[in-house]
């Protein structure tokens, strides 16, 4: 298992068919995730398009994540966590921390993403705040429109595994958020997370066809 230190980021190149196992070592940490086509960084994981594809607010085990060009890029093939992940909340960035009252610089997921991809020798042409927030617990309230930010419900050692559906670059950020209580650590302290690259066969998880509604002109 390789480690991503607390508040830091890491970008990884995956071949189609390889899988990325993301391990919540302490059970308390949110991890922000982005992905791009390995051959064209203008094609990237789109949470808006994924919600249309899966017809879910947030992805679940067996769901495929798709790009802004509607192509499958990652599929969730293992999940020992409660399956609570968030696709709505923008990642943290420096302006967010300044609005929370931080003076000076604060590590943040947006910079972690940019820096980690740069370390691989790439430049993100259209950087976005829209990350998949793995393990993050954002509850939809009973009114159907309001959201509540809550600590993660993952336990130590829980993991989620993503199979690459194309050659891709994935960026992970061990979220530095220590003001808004999203980590389940009592002190809301960011922690390190682990990851592994697997070549295990997950062919039992077939890509589901995109949902197409039936419209009537009557």
pLDDT at residue 215, rounded to an integer = 46
**pLDDT confidence of residue 46:** 98
Q: Running along the chain, 218 residues long, what does each successive block of 10 average in pLDDT?
A: 98 97 97 98 98 94 97 97 96 97 98 98 96 96 92 96 98 96 86 95 75 50
Residues ≥6 apart with Cβ < 8 Å to 24: 31, 81, 135, 152, 154, 156, 157, 158, 159, 193
Instruction: Collect all residues with Cβ–Cβ distance below 8 Å to 149 and sequence separation of at least 6.
Output: 89, 137, 138, 180, 181, 182
| CB-based contact 81:158 (threshold 8 Å) | yes
Return the pLDDT at 210.
58
Look at residues 32, 42, 37, 33 and name the one whose alpha carbon lies nearest to residue 14.
Answer: 37
Position 184 scores a pLDDT of 81
Quote the pLDDT of residue 187: 82
What pLDDT sits at residue 211? 57
pLDDT computed for residue 119 by the predictor: 97
Read off φ and ψ for residue 104, nearest 5 degrees: 80, -155
Residue 104: per-residue pLDDT: 97
- pLDDT at position 171, please? 98
Question: pTM here?
Answer: 0.93
| Spatial separation of the C-alpha atoms in residues 212 and 80, rounded to whole Å | 30
Residue with tokens 């969730």: 76
């Amino acid at each position: 298992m390789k480690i991503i230190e607390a508040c830091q980021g890491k970008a990884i190149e995956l071949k189609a068919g390889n899988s990325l196992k993301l391990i919540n070592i302490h059970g308390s940490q949110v991890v922000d995730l982005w992905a791009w086509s390995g051959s064209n960084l203008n094609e990237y994981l789109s949470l808006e398009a994924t919600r249309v594809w899966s017809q879910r607010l947030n992805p679940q085990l067996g769901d495929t994540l798709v790009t802004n060009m509607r192509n499958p890029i990652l599929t969730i093939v293992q999940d020992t966590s409660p399956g609570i992940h968030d696709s709505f909340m923008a990642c943290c960035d420096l302006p967010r921390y300044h609005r929370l009252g931080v003076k000076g610089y604060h590590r943040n997921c947006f910079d972690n993403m940019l820096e980690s991809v740069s370390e691989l020798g790439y430049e993100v042409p259209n950087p976005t705040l829209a990350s998949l927030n793995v393990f993050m617990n954002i509850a939809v309230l009973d009114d159907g429109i309001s959201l509540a930010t809550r600590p993660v419900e993952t336990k130590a050692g829980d993991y989620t595994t993503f199979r690459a559906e194309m050659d891709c670059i994935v960026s992970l950020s061990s979220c530095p958020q220590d003001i808004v209580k999203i980590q389940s650590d009592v002190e809301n302290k960011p922690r390190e997370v682990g990851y592994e690259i697997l070549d295990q066969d997950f062919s039992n998880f077939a890509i589901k066809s995109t949902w197409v509604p039936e419209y009537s002109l009557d």
